[in-house]
Structure 1
Amino acid sequence: MTLAASPIRFPDAASRTVMTRRAWWLVAMNFLVPGSAQVLAGDRRLGRFGLGATLTLWTLAVVALVVWLLWPTVIYTVVSTSITLWVIAALLLFYAVLWVVLTLDTLRLVRLVKTAPSARAWVALLSVALMVVLSGGAAYGAYFATTASGFLSSVFVAGPTEPPVDGRYNILLLGGDAGPDRDGMRPDSMSVVSIDAETGQAVTIGLPRDFVDVPFPEDSPLYQVYPEGYGAIDGCEVDVCQLNSIYTEVELKSPEMYPNAVSEGSEPGIEGMRDAAEGITGLTIQYYVLIDMQGFEQLIDALGGVDINVETRIPIGGDEDNNGVDGWIEPGQQHLNGYHALWYGRARYGVAGGDYERMQRQHNLEAAILEQFTPANVLTQFQGVASAGADTVKTDIPQSMLGYFVNLGLKTKELPIITVSLTPENGVDSAEDPDYEYVRQLIDQALVPPTAEPEDVG
């Protein structure tokens, strides 16, 4: 069939059957290969432009798929950089506008008045619906990209990357709680997550908040003040000389100890806690993550809650005698919203085991979040996550490392998390006379477990 005889470009306008069939073909072509309808039946210049843009988009999609299959970290890095996200948003807006123009031009080419009266409304409705799918999807993608860019810029810094030490990345996790009865914020939960830089195997080390005589590395400014450990000789500058008081003391009393903290995306109190964690564990802490516990409630709600197997009845509020309790989290498999998840990990009074039992619950909560919160449900609830996260999370992890850590985190998700419990049951008395050499031995054994002896097969 020659082009001159083509019913697409040169239809029999007197035949409603031909014009109706042609209309359906043009609408389908505009959706499947934007620009092709114009190349065959209308303005070829516009068609060639639209077709070129379509083929370019397909090429980029294929290249991205191949790179993601072979080098996923590259893709994760690209989509976790603010500048790149703005470029993606601009491209998506371009395609959103282009698809609107091509769809409206396709409706012009259809010549609805020449089609069968019964088909006209359906052709128009289908064209508009497909335009909403293409252009609306692209516009939402652009909005998503700009929102993600703003979230990343507000949470993550633009500083230099840090290499792994002994093949591991060690991250200090702090759960901050600034209550009305406290002078400043005091971390209520502290742990170090050590992640194998190749396999993603994670080891979680819970740090009891009541550690005393906390040692510091010799290059720490706190070592110059407390060479025998925090408050070991003449006390400290706050009321209780234990681990979680270090943040308060440094932040409120001695911020000059860490003059570069703020410019490097941190705080003096956080840097003091980092030095304390290094002194306790013997590890080099490359990064920190501080989570505001009130914002944590909003974050869990944004993600739809979390499933937890509650082992013992947990009071909400109240004191050590359970006076003033506002409610209970009952034992059994529970789906907790943000408020109840916060109290599950936070409750200290009226529960057997005290701080040590609370540390175990916090570990259970971290493990449940890691298991249940997949990239898919984060993406579907991203606006809420971004809104909560911007006010909830503070970290010095640079944007340039996000792609690497996302890829590493996916590996971590597939492996069991190893836990180091620094509790009396494990021989660690944090509140009386902790043996920090023994603490480091426990950690070393978890990071580099002894090789099993070969069986005697003789």
Structure 2
Amino acid sequence: MTLTASPIRYPDAASRTVMTRRAWWLVCLNLLIPGSVQALAGDRRLGRFGLGATLVLWTLVVVAVVVWMIWPTVIYSLFSTSITLWILAAAALFYAVLWIVLTLDTLRLVRLVKTAPSARAWVALLSIAVMTVVSGTAAYGAYIATTASGFLSTVFVAGPSEPPIDGRYNILLLGGDAGPDRDGLRPDSITVVSIDAETGQAVTIGLPRNLSDVPFNEDSPLHDVYPEGYGSIDGCEVDVCMLNSIYTEVELMSPDMYPDAVSEGSEPGIEGMRDAAEGITGLEIQYYALIDMQGFLELIDALGGVTVNVPEDVPIHADETFTTVAEWIPAGEQHLDGYHALWYARSRHGTSDYDRMARQRQIQEAVLAQFNPANVLTKFQEIAAAGSQVVKTDVPQSMLGYFVNLAGKTKELPITDVPLVPDNGVDPEDDPDYEYIRQLVSDALTPPTPEPTTD
């Protein structure tokens, strides 16, 4: 009676056909419902534990998918905190070990010596292959989670979040170029990105590094030193009184202007640049992100290079004086490694700062386009290692989920670009009209609503 009722637990061991068929059933059940093999044919206590763990995993996955479809910000926020990532890593390691135990126990219960000789190797190979793929994937997931946790802790601060201002988040992006011929770092790429907090609609405002007479709001410590604009009366403390010189002057000569900068995840020079950007644009800037252009090439190499459409030949210089040409990046579609991409963004020979601004935006867009899930997962270690050396920001970890979700909306919308260059009516070097600049920014953020047409 028992043999007939339970052929999986009490098979006819004398029949190779029965044992072979049973072996395949056990291997498939172990793959589809881990723990079921032990519940049916082995240690029921281990089986109940395995089935319970499987049910918990399935439930968590279903709940996560449902929440992601309804409220994705919650999922993004959960998986962008160090604590959650460490919990995820521990859970992944637990399931990796559990699947190894269940698979090895399944092979024991199969009793290969009782199966047909022609099936033994295939049953064993399939079991081992499944165990390697499933447990290996879980172990790799644990590695990704711990690496991501370290990356987030290194790059992002643990400070409080900032609310949107007039319904928008304004972020200062600085591309820093330290260079061996310079004292300190000077931001060669300066952009303010204003993002609608609900829709994700973005406006980018490109600030030329050679803007002169930069104004400061009255609450800025730099306003007390330069009430008429940066260097407009008696010059400044560095050799050239341009926008990007503000970082160097404050960082090296007047860091006491911003005594709380370091404790708040910033630097005095960055805070000086933030005040300058606010004075230029009329916007209040909640966050900044500084990208080290020298380290940027490591990130590009980690991504496998970037593909850009080069409009005309661009020189690579043989020295830091930017006068002697060593080689050329030819016009046309080019796949650039980090070294060539960096030179493409910073080359000066026979070109203007405004051309460089356009090339820098082009490289930034190309890098962002390559941050797809497949690329990031396969090269995560290299990307995380490079990224922790490249990026400095005061965006708190608590805001990452929100901004990831907002970035998804931004990708679906056209981005308005407001370059402050002569072609847009701005002369950066000769008494720039900052009232006009602020009006340009305001018009881009709140474009006029077209009047309804009447029939």
Which band: TM-score by shorter chain? Answer: over 0.9
**How much has 1:361 moved relative to structure 2?**
1.7
CA pair 195-225 structure 1, distance change in 2 beyond 3 A: same
CA deviation map 1:51-96 (0-9, x unaligned)? 0000000000000000011111111111110010000000011111
**How much has 1:188 moved relative to structure 2?**
1.0
Structure 1 vs Structure 2 CA RMSD: 1.6
Contact 2:290 2:391 in 1 (8 A): yes
**C-alpha separation in 1, matches of 2:125 and 2:318:** 60
**C-alpha separation in 2, matches of 1:38 and 1:54:** 13
| Residue in structure 2 matched with residue 197 of structure 1 by the alignment | 197
CA pair 306-172 structure 1, distance change in 2 beyond 3 A: same
CA deviation map 1:5-58 (0-9, x unaligned)? 221011001111111111111111111100000000010000000000000000
**How much has 1:152 moved relative to structure 2?**
0.5
Give % identity.
76
Say whether 1:142 aligns with 2:131: no
Matches for 1:324-403 after TM superposition, within 5 Å: 324-351=324-351, 354-403=352-401
Contact 2:216 2:229 in 1 (8 A): yes
Unaligned 5+ runs, structure 1: none
Letter in 1 for 2:372: T
Contact 1:306 1:368 in 2 (8 A): yes
**How much has 1:322 moved relative to structure 2?**
7.4
Contact 2:156 2:394 in 1 (8 A): yes
Letter in 1 for 2:107: L
**C-alpha separation in 1, matches of 2:21 and 2:89:** 37
Where 1:193 maps in the other structure, the secondary structure is strand
Say whether 1:426 aligns with 2:450: no
**C-alpha separation in 2, matches of 1:3 and 1:274:** 79
Contact 1:68 1:75 in 2 (8 A): yes
CA pair 453-2 structure 1, distance change in 2 beyond 3 A: farther
**C-alpha separation in 1, matches of 2:26 and 2:410:** 49
Contact 1:315 1:329 in 2 (8 A): yes
**How much has 1:3 moved relative to structure 2?**
7.5
CA pair 418-209 structure 1, distance change in 2 beyond 3 A: same
**C-alpha separation in 1, matches of 2:111 and 2:120:** 9
Contact 1:320 1:349 in 2 (8 A): no
Contact 2:322 2:347 in 1 (8 A): no
CA pair 320-80 structure 1, distance change in 2 beyond 3 A: closer
CA pair 344-248 structure 1, distance change in 2 beyond 3 A: same
**How much has 1:379 moved relative to structure 2?**
2.5
Contact 2:344 2:359 in 1 (8 A): yes
**How much has 1:321 moved relative to structure 2?**
11
| Residue in structure 1 matched with residue 61 of structure 2 by the alignment | 61
CA deviation map 1:256-290 (0-9, x unaligned)? 11111111111010000000000000001111010
Contact 1:208 1:356 in 2 (8 A): yes
**C-alpha separation in 2, matches of 1:199 and 1:314:** 38
| Residue in structure 2 matched with residue 444 of structure 1 by the alignment | 442
**C-alpha separation in 2, matches of 1:68 and 1:190:** 35
**C-alpha separation in 2, matches of 1:372 and 1:413:** 13
Contact 2:186 2:247 in 1 (8 A): yes
| Residue in structure 1 matched with residue 160 of structure 2 by the alignment | 160
CA deviation map 1:77-134 (0-9, x unaligned)? 1111001000000001111111111111111111111111121121111111111111
Contact 2:174 2:190 in 1 (8 A): yes
Residue-pair matches, total:
455
Where 1:30 maps in the other structure, the secondary structure is helix
Where 1:334 maps in the other structure, the secondary structure is strand
Letter in 2 for 1:296: F
Unaligned 5+ runs, structure 2: none
| Residue in structure 2 matched with residue 273 of structure 1 by the alignment | 273
| Residue in structure 2 matched with residue 25 of structure 1 by the alignment | 25
| Residue in structure 1 matched with residue 452 of structure 2 by the alignment | 454
Matches for 1:215-226 after TM superposition, within 5 Å: 215-226=215-226
Deviation larger for 267-276 or 317-326: 317-326
Contact 1:210 1:243 in 2 (8 A): yes
Letter in 1 for 2:190: M
- Relative to the length of structure 1, the TM-score reads 0.96
Letter in 1 for 2:363: L
Letter in 2 for 1:373: F
